[in-house]
């Protein structure tokens, strides 16, 4: 999958989620804003109630998307025969797509009314969804090969370019600018936050300011437009790699702990969901069949 194809792929998946959410909100806004005690008299009650044609269908599709999304990603990770079918990160993105769209459909299936044992499944779903966002954040902080394998510290360091040599060979920079740009790729940000996420956002803010200063220095030089872009890109890449090296062990450990929290919620959610489906079918609730 080329970069352009991958970008189109992500846009299509994101578009489906956004359009679906917008359609459900707009088409059912009048019903969902009505109080629970008055919904029985609403003209869309028969259609949008949890056991209605659309409401019931949303629950079935949402549950299917979540179970299917979890199943295919777990199979891709653990079944060696599937390792040649696309990159793992693309499977992860499709897993995220299904496990984002699924909870949205289930949310509208409930018509925002939660109670009984099903509420445990719903809030477990919410916990899985939110922890999935955190997991994705951690996942992208760990440098990986194109196949999705985690890179070692040595492999990450080998990705660093020899920026000093490039700057030395340039006659467009004065000595102070040369040293400032070179030091900017080695600069350590003093942090006073104990929380890893606070540290991340503090580092990102400081790195953004640093790149902006480097860009201003390069603009004052005699580099042409193409050289300026290349140099700024190299500096940004060096700073990013420095940060990834600093955070490598922390993020790997966080990812291990994240699995401990994410998986139990998913198991609880699916278990109660299956019990809910079994009870629904037992009591004679059917959809189109």
The tens digit of pLDDT for each residue in 76-129 reads 877 777 767 777 778 888 988 998 898 899 889 888 887 666 677 777 878 887
The stretches of 84-174 forming alpha helices (DSSP H) are 88-109, 116-141, 153-157, 163-168
Q: What is the pTM of this model?
A: 0.63
pLDDT score, position 13: 92
Task: Report the distance separating Cα 266 and Cα 27, nearest Å.
Answer: 30
- Residue 66 and residue 125 in contact, taking contact as beta carbons nearer than 8 Å: yes
Low-confidence ranges of the chain (pLDDT < 70): 1, 83, 115-118, 141-175, 178, 181-182, 184-197, 199-200, 222-224, 244-250, 252, 259, 286, 288-289
Beta bridge partners of 150: 144
Which residues contact residue 258 at a Cβ distance below 8 angstroms, ignoring those fewer than 6 apart? 131, 134, 135, 138
| φ, ψ of residue 230 in degrees (nearest 5) | -65, -45
Q: Is 59 exposed, middle or buried (0-12, 13-18, 19+ CB in 10 A)?
A: buried
CB atoms within 10 A of CB 238: 19
């Amino acid at each position: 999958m080329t970069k352009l194809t991958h970008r189109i792929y992500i846009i299509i998946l994101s578009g489906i989620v956004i359009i679906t959410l917008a359609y459900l909100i707009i088409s059912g806004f009048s019903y969902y804003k009505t109080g629970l005690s008055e919904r029985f008299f609403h003209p869309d009650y028969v259609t949008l109630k949890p056991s209605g044609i659309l409401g019931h269908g949303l629950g079935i599709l949402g549950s299917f998307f979540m179970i299917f999304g979890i199943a295919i990603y777990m199979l891709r990770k653990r079944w060696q025969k599937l390792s040649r079918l696309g990159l793992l990160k693309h499977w992860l993105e499709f897993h995220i797509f299904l496990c984002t769209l699924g909870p949205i459909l289930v949310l509208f299936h409930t018509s925002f009314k939660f109670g009984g044992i099903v509420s445990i499944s719903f809030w477990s779903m919410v916990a899985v969804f939110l922890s999935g966002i955190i997991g994705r954040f951690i996942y992208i902080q760990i440098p990986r090969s194109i196949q999705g394998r985690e890179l070692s510290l040595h492999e990450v360091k080998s990705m660093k370019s020899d920026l000093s040599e490039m700057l030395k060979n340039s006659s467009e920079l004065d000595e102070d600018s040369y040293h400032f740009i070179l030091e900017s790729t080695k600069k350590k940000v003093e942090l006073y936050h104990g929380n890893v996420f606070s540290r991340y956002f503090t580092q990102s803010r400081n790195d953004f300011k640093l790149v902006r200063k480097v860009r201003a220095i390069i603009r004052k030089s005699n580099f042409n437009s193409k050289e300026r872009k290349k140099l700024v890109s190299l500096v940004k890449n060096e700073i990013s790699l420095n940060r990834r090296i600093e955070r490598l062990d922390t993020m790997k450990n966080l990812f291990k702990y994240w699995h401990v929290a994410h998986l139990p919620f998913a198991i609880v959610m699916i278990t109660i969901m299956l019990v809910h489906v079994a009870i629904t079918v037992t009591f004679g609730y059917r959809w189109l069949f």
